Chains A and B, each alone.
Chain A
Amino acid sequence: MSKHHVSTTINGEPTEFLCEPQLTLLDVLRDELHLTGSKEGCSSGDCGACSVLVDGRLVCSCLMLAVEVEGHAIETIEGLARGKDLHPLQRKFLEHAALQCGFCTPGVLIAAKALLDRNPNPTETEARYWFAGNLCRCTGYDKIIRAVLDAAAELRGERASG
């Protein structure tokens, strides 16, 4: 089977890889590039554990062929923190205990970043609809929503709510 050569940017780093055409972006991120933060939950676009940004747009990496990212910029959970400095969303998730098993968390954080990049001041309802494609079996979502809204307030420069 002929492999395709793909040039892309991942978390700001120019990256090249070879892949078979049937592999998904998630397959290549995890198995080829060893970026295992993005998780494989359902592989049908229902759970959101594999969420990444492609040119700033939130997508399921299980619903894209790896060959499709030629020339596009990918952001994954590995690019969220700056070295040892956690992104405000990551800090707020810890503060609010917005995770238990953590399997959904990378996808939720990437979805949260996409939300706040677009809408720095979402209502609770907007946030809940935005996360309809991110399933979490541990938290019941309340803590996730609180953490995201608190991170949004901090990023807007408002006093973080107690």
Chain B
Amino acid sequence: MLDYTAPSTVEEAIRILAEASGTAKVLSGGTDLLVQLRSGRSKPDVIVDIKKIPGMSGIRERDGAFVIGAATPGAVIGECEALKRVWPGVVEAANLIGSTQVQGRASLAGNLCNASPAADSVPALIAARAICVVVGANGRREVPVESIPTGPGRTSLKPDEFIVEFHLPKRPPRSADAYLRFIPRTEMDIAVVGAGISVTLDPGGLCIDARVVLGAVAPTAILVPDAAAALIGHTLDETALAALDQAVRRACKPIDDKRGTIEYRTKVAGVIARRAAAIAYERAGKCR
């Protein structure tokens, strides 16, 4: 017997989650959850819709930093010009999730908590050093996005916890990010490989900070410090790109499936990382 409730405060939502006698599922956009309900893969006793809680949807800018409500639809993220200017990679990653229709509902929190290794927004958020604000019966905690997924379909959230918002930090000058994924068509597919890269350049075009994150090549999105180290201290030259490519391929632990073999995914990861790095450098060079 499924029940549905749409609390109007965070406290009420936590209480419902903490006191639920069976399985409770948090609903934001629902584009994954409804498919799972339909197929019987998810059989919750209660659905807790967080969209009636103020602040769950919408984007706020504070001194150059951004706060994105957990249930903000992808389409709203794509329409936020200020966010697009500062975090183009996060926006393009969020906008790659599904169709126009799916973009009307799908959220960052849903993409993260569905915990697919191929989730498009997750590598970009991790590359951006995004923090998520988690609330639960034990209070509020701020944790990096990479601490949430623990494996396919699994997260580190306790049953009474949910994400209320994402924080994206203020950017130093000459910083930009990019996200690229490989799929065998142009739209409506699941990443074979994804790469989110964020860089900061010095006035001479030398990389002084970088984050490289891969999707769909391990049980969760993976941060690859060796790949970032290959970029730091270099301009976008062939030596740096070759070192990036190699570090990325070393970090891949993909599965063999219908979307790609281990060898194929590993090779493509290097290529996609090179291309994402080139886009991030180009964007950063244009940012004062």
List residues of chain A with CB under 8 Å of any chain B CB: 1-2, 4, 20-22, 24, 43-46, 48, 51, 54, 57-60, 62-65, 67-68, 70, 111, 114, 129-134
Partner pick for B105 among A46, A64, A130, CB 8 A cutoff: A64
Does B102 count as interface, using CB distance less than 8 angstroms?
yes
**Are B101 and A45 in contact, with the CB atoms below 8 A?**
yes
Tell me which residues across on chain B come within 8 A of A4, comparing CB atoms.
Answer: 4
- Complex CA distance for A63 and B35, rounded to whole angstroms: 7
User: A24-B34, A132-B99, A133-B101 are known contacts; what are 9 more A-B pairs with Cβ within 8 Å?
Assistant: A21-B4, A43-B38, A45-B31, A45-B34, A59-B101, A60-B105, A63-B34, A68-B30, A133-B188
Does B194 count as interface, using CB distance less than 8 angstroms?
no
- Complex CA distance for A65 and B46, rounded to whole angstroms: 13
List residues of chain B with CB under 8 Å of any chain A CB: 1-4, 6, 27, 30-31, 34-35, 37-38, 47, 49, 51, 73, 75, 98-102, 104-105, 186-188
Shortest beta-carbon distance from A16 to chain B in Å: 17
Tell me which residues across on chain A come within 8 A of B3, comparing CB atoms.
Answer: 2, 21
Query: Looking at chain A's contact residues, is the secondary structure mostly helix, strand, loop, or mixed?
Result: mixed
Partner pick for B102 among A43, A54, A63, A67, CB 8 A cutoff: A63
Which residue, B3, B73, B186, has most C-beta atoms of chain A within 10 A?
Answer: B3
Which residue, B37, B38, B75, has most C-beta atoms of chain A within 10 A?
Answer: B38
Partner pick for A132 among B27, B34, B187, CB 8 A cutoff: B187
**Are A63 and B101 in contact, with the CB atoms below 8 A?**
yes
List 5 A-B residue pairs with CB atoms under 8 Å apart, sorted by A's residue number: A45-B102, A58-B100, A65-B27, A111-B101, A131-B100
Partner pick for B188 among A46, A51, A54, A114, CB 8 A cutoff: A46
Partner pick for B4 among A44, A63, A67, A130, CB 8 A cutoff: A67
- Complex CA distance for A22 and B100, rounded to whole angstroms: 24
Tell me which residues across on chain B come within 8 A of A64, comparing CB atoms.
Answer: 30, 34, 105
**Are A60 and B101 in contact, with the CB atoms below 8 A?**
yes
- Complex CA distance for A58 and B78, rounded to whole angstroms: 14
Q: When A43-B38, A45-B31, A133-B188 are in contact, do A21 and B2 touch as well, CB less than 8 Å?
A: yes
**Are A133 and B102 in contact, with the CB atoms below 8 A?**
yes
**Are B51 and A68 in contact, with the CB atoms below 8 A?**
yes
**Are A132 and B30 in contact, with the CB atoms below 8 A?**
no
- Complex CA distance for A134 and B105, rounded to whole angstroms: 16
Partner pick for A48 among B27, B37, B99, CB 8 A cutoff: B99
Tell me which residues across on chain B come within 8 A of A22, comparing CB atoms.
Answer: 2, 37
Tell me which residues across on chain B come within 8 A of A57, comparing CB atoms.
Answer: 73, 75, 104
Tell me which residues across on chain B come within 8 A of A43, comparing CB atoms.
Answer: 38
- Return the 5 tightest CB-CB contacts between A and B, nearest first: A133-B99, A21-B4, A132-B187, A59-B104, A57-B104
Tell me which residues across on chain A come within 8 A of B30, comparing CB atoms.
Answer: 63-65, 68
